[in-house]
Homo-oligomer: A and B are copies of this chain.
Amino acid sequence: MKDTFNPWEVLGDIDYGKLIKKFGLKELEELPKIFMENVLFRRKIVFAHRDIQRVLEAIHGKKPFVVMTGLMPTGKFHIGHMLLVQQLIFYQELGAKIYIAVADLEAYNARGQSLEESRKIALEEYISNYFALGLKKKNCEIYSQSDRSEDGKKSGAYYGLQNLLARHITFNEFKAVYGEITPGKMVASLLQASDMLHPQLREFEGKPLPVLVPVGADQDPHLRLARDVSQRIKTPRFMQLSSTYHIFAPGLGGGKMSASDPNSFIAMDDSPEVVKKKINKYAFSGGQATLEEHRKLGGNPDVDVSYQYLRVFFEPDDKKLEEIYRLYKQGELTTGDLKKITIEKINNFFKVHQRKLVKARKEAEKYFG
């Protein structure tokens, strides 16, 4: 994928200005109080946007709006995935209707994964965790790309839009997003654009309305494509999409969390022992080589994965987080101390979450089965 950036660079030395300039995004500023009460916005984990003002206006005026996302049903659901779900829950509480596309056709076209396998993973890993994290079924529409099946008129509109959009995109635009393009990728890209745009159709929310698509910063090319094409099509008419951009939470080793390497992430159903082992053994440390040096020179929390997990996920209290930051930087807190805090925080969170997850898996089966 082009325009990907190394998430580690962003985390270790966050140059929002550069990122924002590169993608032509806008910094998130002057957000309403309710946003600033959420760590994701307060700590600039969600750091940039396109056209968010019409979503803010809808929230302010209690007007309908949609928050749309897709999930790729591969691998385990891990803490990195929480970032997006927490945003969905935040917006749902503010009145958003939530649309979630299970990208099973994309998984087929990109990886050859069967629809059955996608369905299983979507249910057991993703949707269950969404519910366990607090997403409500009310005002939330979860569907598979392969089976947009409430009723036929709606299905036709959703897939018809995929087909109509094809007339308004060029091969070069696809290449700009995908680099090397195949028919499978192209078709998946068109369906993804339909995922983002179809809530505005008569058959769905009934008319053009604000649709926010929260994504990781590397996903902007998809947004640009959908935004461009949406304004070229004459019938139906679409309101321009809004989007926000969040950083990646780093993998344990400091790079990306990789589905194919379980030691690069913490899965939501990892046991306390596994969490302990993963943090202690694999979490990249910003500490010095020896305890003595650490006491003398201090650690670097900005590149320390445990610290980042606290910052992004597990320590909502700014004062406490700052204290940890300060003490680690001064060398008063050792890497061992920091890891211990992180392990405890994660396991406390998981204790409650994993209980909810058992119930949520049954619910998901019923809801989506």
- Taking a contact as CB atoms under 8 Å apart, the answer to whether B167 and A159 are in contact is no
Q: A112 an interface residue at 8 Å Cβ cutoff?
A: yes
Interface membership of chain A positions 164-200, coded 1 if the CB is closer than 8 angstroms to chain B and 0 otherwise: 1011011100100000001110111011000000000
Q: Point out the residue from B105, B159, B166 that lies within 8 Å of A186, measured CB to CB.
A: B166
Q: A347 an interface residue at 8 Å Cβ cutoff?
A: no
Q: A18 an interface residue at 8 Å Cβ cutoff?
A: no
- Taking a contact as CB atoms under 8 Å apart, the answer to whether B163 and A183 are in contact is no
Q: A145 an interface residue at 8 Å Cβ cutoff?
A: yes
- Taking a contact as CB atoms under 8 Å apart, the answer to whether A145 and B163 are in contact is yes
Closest Cβ of chain B to A108, distance in Å, is 6
Q: A317 an interface residue at 8 Å Cβ cutoff?
A: no
Q: A152 an interface residue at 8 Å Cβ cutoff?
A: yes
Closest Cβ of chain B to A184, distance in Å, is 4
- Taking a contact as CB atoms under 8 Å apart, the answer to whether A160 and B182 are in contact is no
Interface membership of chain A positions 111-134, coded 1 if the CB is closer than 8 angstroms to chain B and 0 otherwise: 010110000000000000000000
- Taking a contact as CB atoms under 8 Å apart, the answer to whether B183 and A109 are in contact is no
Q: Closest residue to A152 on the B side, CB-wise?
A: B149
- Taking a contact as CB atoms under 8 Å apart, the answer to whether A149 and B145 are in contact is no
Given contacts A109-B163, A167-B184, 18 further A-B pairs with CB under 8 A are A108-B163, A109-B166, A146-B160, A147-B152, A147-B156, A147-B157, A148-B156, A149-B151, A151-B152, A159-B162, A166-B184, A166-B188, A167-B183, A170-B182, A170-B183, A171-B182, A171-B183, A183-B190
Chain A to chain B: the 8 pairs with minimum beta-carbon distance, closest first: A149-B152, A155-B155, A159-B159, A166-B187, A147-B156, A146-B160, A167-B184, A105-B163
Interface residues of A (CB under 8 A from B): 105, 108-109, 112, 114-115, 144-157, 159-160, 162-164, 166-167, 169-171, 174, 182-184, 186-188, 190-191, 235
9 A-B contacts, Cβ less than 8 Å apart? Answer: A105-B164, A108-B163, A145-B160, A149-B152, A149-B156, A151-B152, A159-B162, A166-B184, A169-B183
